[in-house]
């Protein structure tokens, strides 16, 4: 079963390329010189992440690593526009973080159920229909489509649960989850029975319920990668309330106080905020205590000194489980909602190698500038943003594009076309 749970995956996503514009002229009987009628290319398809609540792991991404949206179709004559490329929708479990692989920065948190466009398709190229003017009535050129965005991303699943069950292996977490919810986790009397997190919905009363997660047993050193805990500690991150189960039966010869302190130390080492997360301490397996209640009282004294509330319980006999569920519901009512991670990804300023030659073509008062690096530059610039426009202008000036055009005779007011960007030249 361990192999069936995947909570981290690295994939490559590529949006579709825009279709090329068409060079075409109107042809109809009895109509001479019908003029240009080449249509625009279609827009490339986007790559969109969408939440699928029927998914619980990232298993689907184990064998497929590259995801490519559809390209836009080329434009055609008779002013026929190319069809847009097909959008690629990638389904992920709720609670998945999308990170930039290179920097580790969060690009988006797939927790709210809203679709998110991770890579935008390239814009379609203009057909020669756009380039007709009174002085240029037969434009024999069109514009190619622009490439779509691409990213290497890491998907990281952080389960969305209100209550997280933590504790050493074999303390009764899975048994408790099976008792208070309809979940059916694997239960056996050996360590690391639980190899992947289990979720269950706990119904308290009409209109009152919460999600509980059974986190695989944590051991000492888990925050440094020991045992199974390191892989799954991330699933505790979003839990609003922790229920810390401690075995007080002494059946394995363990000291409950030492166990309690060890688990909290691991949570603190992994994330200091976890140590401050609201926590209910549960003394489990009380049905095995008999007359010897020394372990229970030692634990009670210790946790109450630290300000925690202790519940006595036996998950096997169901003793104390309803009281625990009621307390969880009461505490959750006063706690803030499940944590949502804010995006902190900043797209890097593109590195443009301007050493490649540009082609500058002059048609009457129209100047067409084309070249591989210019195409990549136009595709990455957001022309609605002032800083992006200034970056674009700076790159062109440093590359000597305007100087070359001036040497070739560009005049004030001439039209400059750079892929799907058109502007009037001003000295």
Any idea what the CATH number is for the domain that residue 14 is in? 2.70.210.12
| Strands ordered across the beta sheet of 88-92 | 88-92, 47-51, 116-119
Maximum Cα interatomic distance, the chain, rounded to a whole number of Å:
109
pLDDT tens track for 32-51? 666 788 889 999 999 999 99
Q: Which of 332, 358, 380 is the last residue of a domain?
A: 332
* Least confident window among 27-31, 68-72, 83-87, 242-246: 27-31
Q: How far apart are CA 269 and CA 336, in angstroms?
A: 24
Q: Do residues 247 and 285 lie in contact, with contact meaning Cβ atoms separated by under 8 Å?
A: yes
State how many domains the chain has: 3
Q: Say whether both 227 and 120 belong to one domain.
A: no
Q: Are 347 and 206 in contact (CB under 8 A)?
A: no
Rounded percentage of the chain residues whose pLDDT exceeds 90 = 34
User: Can you read off the two tokens belonging to residue 323?
Assistant: 């009281």
Decide if 145 is inside a domain: yes
Structural domain that includes position 407: 350-427
DSSP per-residue string spanning 341-359: PPP---PPPP---TTSPPE
Task: Say if 340 falls within a structural domain.
Answer: no
* Residue 174 sits in the same domain as residue 153: no
* pTM (two decimals): 0.73
- The answer to whether residues 358 and 223 belong to one domain is no
Same domain, 328 and 396: no
Q: Are residues 170 and 143 in the same domain?
A: no
Angle at 67 between CA 236 and CA 421, to 5 degrees: 110
Choice between 232 and 407, residue whose per-residue pLDDT is larger: 407
Report how far residue 201's alpha carbon sits from residue 19's, in angstroms, rounded to the nearest whole number: 48
For 162, counting Cβ atoms within 10 Å of its Cβ (0-12 exposed, 13-18 middle, 19+ buried), the class is: buried
Q: With a cut of 80, say whether residue 72 has pLDDT above it.
A: yes
Per residue in 133-143, pLDDT tens? Answer: 666 677 777 88
Q: How far is CA 152 from CA 61, 120, 124, 146, in A?
A: 13, 14, 24, 20
**Domain boundary at 132, 157, 182, which?**
157
Domain boundary at 301, 332, 363, which?
Answer: 332
């Amino acid at each position: 079963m361990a192999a069936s749970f995947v909570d981290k995956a690295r994939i490559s996503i590529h949006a579709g390329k825009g279709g090329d514009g068409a060079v075409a002229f109107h042809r109809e009987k009895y109509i001479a010189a019908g003029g240009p009628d080449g249509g625009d290319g279609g827009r490339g398809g986007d790559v969109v992440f969408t939440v699928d609540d029927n998914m619980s792991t990232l298993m689907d991404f184990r064998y497929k690593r590259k995801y490519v949206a559809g390209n836009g179709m080329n434009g055609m004559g008779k002013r026929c526009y190319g069809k847009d490329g097909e959008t690629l929708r990638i389904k992920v479990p709720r609670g998945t973080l999308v990170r930039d692989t290179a920097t580790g920065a969060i690009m988006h948190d797939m927790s709210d159920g809203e679709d998110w466009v991770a890579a935008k398709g390239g814009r379609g190229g203009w057909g020669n229909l756009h380039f007709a003017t009174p002085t240029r009535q037969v434009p024999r050129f069109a514009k190619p489509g622009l490439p779509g965005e691409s990213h290497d991303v890491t998907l990281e699943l952080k389960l969305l649960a209100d209550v997280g069950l933590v504790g050493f292996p074999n303390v009764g977490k899975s048994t408790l989850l099976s008792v208070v919810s309809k979940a059916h986790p694997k239960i056996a009397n050996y360590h690391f029975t639980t190899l992947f997190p289990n979720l269950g919905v706990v119904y308290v009363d009409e209109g009152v319920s919460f999600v509980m997660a059974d986190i695989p047993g944590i051991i000492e050193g888990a925050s440094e990668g020991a045992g199974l805990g390191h892989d799954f500690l991330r699933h505790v991150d979003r839990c609003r309330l922790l229920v810390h189960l401690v075995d007080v039966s002494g059946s394995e010869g363990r000291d409950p106080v030492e166990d309690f302190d060890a688990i909290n130390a691991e949570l603190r080492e992994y994330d200091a905020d976890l140590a401050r997360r609201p926590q209910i301490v549960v003394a489990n397996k009380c049905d095995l205590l008999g007359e010897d209640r020394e372990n229970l009282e030692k634990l009670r004294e210790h946790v109450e000194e630290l300000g925690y509330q202790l519940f006595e319980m036996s998950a096997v006999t169901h003793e104390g489980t309803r009281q625990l569920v009621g307390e969880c519901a009461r505490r959750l009512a006063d706690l803030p909602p499940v944590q949502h991670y804010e995006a902190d990804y900043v797209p890097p300023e593109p590195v443009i190698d301007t050493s490649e030659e540009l082609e500058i073509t002059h048609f009457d008062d129209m100047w067409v500038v084309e070249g591989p690096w210019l195409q990549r530059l136009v595709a990455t610039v957001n022309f609605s943003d002032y800083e992006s426009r200034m970056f674009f202008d700076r790159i062109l000036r440093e590359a000597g594009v305007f100087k070359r055009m001036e040497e070739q005779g560009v005049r004030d007011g001439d039209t400059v076309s750079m892929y799907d960007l058109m502007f009037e030249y001003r000295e």
